[in-house]
Structure 1
Amino acid sequence: MLEPIVLKLGGAIFENETALANLCQALASVQERPLVLVHGGGVIVESLLAHLGLVSEKIEGLRVTPHTQIDYVTGALAGTANKKLTAAILRQGRAAVGLCLGDGGLCRVTELDAKFGAVGQCDSGDPELLSTLLEQHYLPVISSIGIGDDGQLYNVNADQAAVAIGKMLQGPLVLLSDVPGVLDENGQLIESLDQSQAEQLMASGTIHGGMAVKVKAALDASEAMQQVVILAGWKDADALAKLLMGESVGTTVNATNTIEKY
């Protein structure tokens, strides 16, 4: 069996039904490639909390999740977001199974810091459930809700969750967002980046804002996994399908510039 590709998907795609359908069509077009999808869903969480009249706060870029709100956040991520993705993939003809980080002990989750509330940090757990599903040609769709040894529910950063799953499966990690990759000052795609190049481009302001956050996450993931990490977009279904078949798409981030490329 080919090594599985771990795809991390941000929540912005839930605001674009056409893009969601195109993404799932791309996933279904490569039936022979084992895939694992790890997702967040901040836009769905924020919408639900606002509807309930609750305030959503972030500290250091992480969403504070009061213990009184974790049931709602779990419903938004492991419920609405997870099942929307699973349903969209099933509609395109690929078998999918919706999961959370706690199912089958996929990840070991502990409390991050009391100031964040019910927010967890995670590390790789037991791969047996994923291995079984992948062998049977299912596409696991994993929400970033974890279950601690204390039996409590935790909201886990989706990037960190994807890294933990990637380390466990030893497969390539692709961080998908609404942009095709990292762009230079002329708007052209940068095909590869290492730590030094990324720092120079961030210092000059070429990489800034949300893209700087994405690049830093990719560098951290590359260092942690000792593998390259790919930043690519979900808007172009054809390009994504090529990426899943091993073609060069997006920006390859290599923390040390010595790691074997995907």
Structure 2
Amino acid sequence: MQRKDLLQILDSLLKPHLVRDFCPNGLQIEGKNEIKKIVTGVTASQALIDAAIAANADAIIVHHGYFWKNEAYPIVGMKKRRIAALLAHDINLFAYHLPLDVHPELGNNAQLAKLLDLEFEQGLEPGSAPSVAVRGRLRTPMLGQDFADKISTALNRPVLSNLVRQTPIETIAWCTGGGQGYIDLAAEQEVDAYLTGEASEQTIHSSQEQNIDFFAAGHHATERYGIKALGEYLAENHLFDVEFIDIDNPV
């Protein structure tokens, strides 16, 4: 398939024009025109690029790409080495950040909900369409420690939790990645628990003082599933040879 056709498929599916983001979504680095082999991964790190080169990939599709808002402009050091490797091997780099978070089927929030058996109800942000953070229910209510154990088992990693309630969790809000700031909005809407990837120092105080159970399951760990699902969609519906490569990150 031609590069422009893959870009059209991705843009039509993920609709980046509907989301205000912190980086450009779509084709970030241009490579060869004909694309057969695709590698997907969470972040366009040097390790993922090297793995894609070894896999003879024509394109890499990631959640975390390059050229972030407030990022330094000069292409030097680490940034130069990454981009140089992509150009030297004529590999296309596609990146979709918030559009991949919010997609109702393939998105990070949707895929995490599927993994943890959460039922989506609505966006958490009033008047925001689509909302980056969402809310819903546990299909099987359970105590906070039991839910922490379930997350840890499903994501295969320890979970940071702050458990303040003595009754089973029924309602929950969540946002994959670095969404800890939404805990206050979740507390305002009186949900029982909030789940995200990361925690800040003030997050625990918000949990403690607003009586909302809190879970931080890792930025990388909570965002593995959207990009993996996107690759599976491309393989099933457009017959690409797609390989998901997980470069582990404890954060």
The TM-score, its normalising length taken from structure 2, stands at 0.27
The structure that has the greater radius of gyration is 2
